[in-house]
Amino acid sequence: MTRNGRFKGRSICLVNSLTVDEQRYLYRKAREFKTELAGGGSADRFRIADLDYSAYLIFLENSTRTRESFRNAAKFHRVRTNMFDSATSSFAKNESITDTIKMLIGYAPESCFVIRSKLEGVCTWLDHHLGPWAVENGHERPVFFNAGDGRHEHPTQEFLDEFSFLEHLHWKDDVIHLALIGDLLHGRTVHSKAEGLKVFRNVTVDLVSPPELAMPPFYVDAMKRNGFEVRFFHSLDEYLDSGTAAKLWYFTRLQLERMGESNLEKAPLFKKALTFRKDMLSRVSEDTRFYHPLPRDRQVPLIPGFLDNTPLNAWDSQSVNGYYTRVVEMAMSAGVLGHDFDGQGREKPGEEESFVMEAPIVKKSGKQEYKVGIKPVDSGLVIDHIASGMPLEAIWDRIDKIRRILGLNLRSSHGVYHSNRGPDVFKGIISIPDVLSFGEKNLKKLGAVSPSCTLNLIKDHQVVKKYRLGMPPRIYNFEELSCKNENCISHPKNQESIDTSFERKPDVQGRDRFICSWCEREHDYSEIWTI
């Protein structure tokens, strides 16, 4: 069979790597696959069955379920399966992950990589960087499956979780009420719920955690933006006392290995607040089900062993579903499935919004001059309206940033002046005489460093061109940028030599936030700069 389904070459780096309709398609196909196997069918129509197709399982952190379900999925597909041993690989000689994967792509005409790493954003980076590289070098576009990256996301776990909820709800996707219980700060599987639950049309999420382990605001905001009702509780007792507990409970373990010392000291309190006790049994309704991405911590199991053989146990069947969903994810991205998809697919990336605009030149009566210090500028460049309206200190700081980032170490002057917007309004100006071109790259840089300033080109004392600069939709490729998440693959500490890149997105209050393109850490504008 020709493998040319519409998802061919698509990576799953994030839950949002698939649209909601594409996720529904995945669940439909996983259901068909599971049913066919249960009926004794061969399920051959789901199989890649190609020994030129290579599946690399690269687990740089421990795993049982994700690794073994993908390994078994690869066996089902009858493809070359490679278990990558990081301890004896050239990672031990400080090879970067980009170099390693680039080399492995060369060993087969077509490959997929299942990667678990403590570094966040690895798959997004590799897909962005090595996808086009592979195609240019005569390979099929490689596929990356994020098998869990630090605290960030675990999208294939999310898909098996949602599949399990849908299965329990008899495939009805109109409404879900779900409790997320445990270490919501560090648990990547609960973070992924902020997007994964969109597959349901009406969502209520109860977040049950002590304040120290609360869900990060980034994900709470995303839930609200996605229209979920979000409620907060600090302990299981408080939750049960509310009398409005959900029937689906999703636990996530206390990630003691990721906690700082002060929180580690509080571990016994967290355990007390979040562990289900025997006396609570009479307070949950019979049709309640407990889910857990597993593993359970054998010292601190939030779902203790006495619950294993009760109807509450939905976590065992949940983990088995990882096999069905991962077989289908591999089949989709290898182009085996997807011919019968008729929903809303991913939009093609649009043109980058323009943020450099030529502005009209307003001719004023009388003599109008920009000066270098006390001398008028005959010809040259003037950067005007720098940080206009901001406090004086911020304006000086912005002038300094512009000079340093753009390397303006030439004969020039700068200062802070009154703006004509009012007596208490100030702005910065930099004048550079005798320079008549600025270059597109510098223009973009200037927009990124000092949005809403203007660049004026002066000839014979006249402004002959004026550009007004907005904030670019993406800020990238400057040495002076860095993601502040130390676990991000692009963070200098990790020595992966990866370009820093931020996407500008408004938050719920409409303020500009800057999201790392790889690990999705949210930043203020001032935080993205290293100077």
Q: Is 293 in the site for ligand CP (CB under 6 A)?
A: yes
Least distance (Å) from ligand CP to the CB of residue 158? 10
Closer residue to ligand CP in complex, CB, 165/233:
165
Residue reference for tokens 């008899």: 170
Nearest to 98 by CA among 118, 79, 126, 76: 126
- CB nearer to ligand CP: give 121 or 131: 121
CB of 147 to ligand CP, least distance (A): 7
SS3 content of the chain, % helix, strand, coil (to 5): 35, 25, 40
Residues of this chain, 262-291, that bind ligand CP according to CB under 6 A = none
Q: Compose the 307-346 pattern: x for residues touching ligand CP by CB under 6 A, - for all others.
A: ----------------------------------------
Coil, helix or strand at residue 13: coil
* 295 touches ligand CP by CB under 6 A: yes
Find the helix or strand (DSSP H, E) in which 413 lies.
Answer: strand 413-418
Instruction: Please give the Cα distance from 188 to 201 (Å, whole number).
Output: 23
Q: Which is nearer to ligand CP, 83 or 531 (CB)?
A: 83
Distant-in-sequence, close-in-space partners of 426: CB < 8 Å, separation ≥ 6: 388, 389, 390, 392, 395, 416, 417, 418, 419
> Please, are residues 59 and 71 in contact by the beta-carbon 8 Å criterion?
no
Tell me how far, at minimum, the Cβ of 111 lies from ligand CP, in Å.
Answer: 21
Q: Which residues contact 69 (CB under 8 A, 6 or more apart)?
A: 322, 323, 326
Q: Minimum distance between the CB of residue 68 and ligand CP, rounded to whole angstroms? A: 8
> Minimum CB separation from ligand CP for residue 211, in Å?
25
Write the burial class of residue 298 (CB in 10 Å: 0-12 exposed, 13-18 middle, 19+ buried).
exposed
Question: Least Å distance between CB 234 and ligand CP?
Answer: 25
Helix ranges restricted to H, 289-349 = 315-333
As given in the structure block, the two tokens for residue 33 are: 């696959």
Helix or strand holding residue 204 (H, E): strand 202-208
Site residues (CB under 6 A) for ligand CP, limited to 155-174: 157
Place of tokens 């040319």: 4
User: Looking at beta carbons only, is 254 or 336 nearer to ligand CP?
Assistant: 254
Strands (E) in 23-165, as ranges, are: 53-59, 80-84, 110-117, 143-149
Q: Contact region for ligand CP (CB under 6 A) — 293-301, 360-368, 465-473, 505-513?
A: 293-301
What is the Cα gyration radius of the chain?
Answer: 27
Q: Mark residues 59-78: x for contact with ligand CP by CB under 6 A, - for none.
A: ----xxxxx-----------
CA 507 – CA 289 distance, rounded (Å): 34
Whichever of 26 and 160 has its CB closer to ligand CP, that residue is: 160
For 63, 120, 228, 529, the CA distances from 183, given in Å and listed in that order, are 19, 18, 20, 31
Q: How far is the CB of 321 from ligand CP (least distance, A)?
A: 11
Q: Which is nearer to ligand CP, 110 or 158 (CB)?
A: 158
Of 265-273, 292-300, 424-432, 477-485, the window that binds ligand CP (rule: CB under 6 A) is 292-300
- The nearest distance, CB 156 to ligand CP, in angstroms, is 9
The residues facing 176 across adjacent strands are: 203
Residue 70 or 467 having the CB closest to ligand CP = 70
Name which of 245 and 294 has its Cβ closer to ligand CP.
294
CB atoms < 10 A from the CB of 480, how many?
15
Q: Which helix (H) or strand (E) holds 221?
A: helix 217-225
Minimal distance, residue 67 CB to ligand CP, in Å: 6
Tell me which of 190, 294, 448, 469 binds ligand CP, using CB under 6 A. 294
Minimum separation from the CB atom of position 419 to ligand CP (A)? 55
* Orientation angle between helical segments 440-449 and 392-405, nearest 10 degrees: 150
- Binding residues for ligand CP restricted to 87-116, rule: CB under 6 A: none
Q: Which residue's CB is nearer to ligand CP, number 69 or number 98?
A: 69
Site string for ligand CP, 34-63 (x = CB under 6 A): -----------------------------x
Choice between 157 and 412, CB closer to ligand CP: 157
By beta-carbon proximity to ligand CP, the closer residue of 57 and 274 is 57
Contact between 202 and ligand CP by CB under 6 A: the answer reads no
> Which residues sit opposite 504 in a β-bridge?
514
Q: What is the size of the binding site for ligand CP (CB under 6 A)?
A: 10
Alpha helices in 379-478 (DSSP H): 392-405, 440-449
Site for ligand CP in 420-449 (CB under 6 A): none
Closer by beta carbon to ligand CP, 293 or else 447: 293
Asked whether the beta carbons of 441 and 378 are under 8 A apart, the reply is: no
Least Cβ distance, residue 62 to ligand CP (angstroms)? 7
Query: Quick one: tokens of 34?
Result: 């599971």
Q: Which residues bind ligand CP (CB under 6 A)?
A: 63-67, 148, 157, 293-295
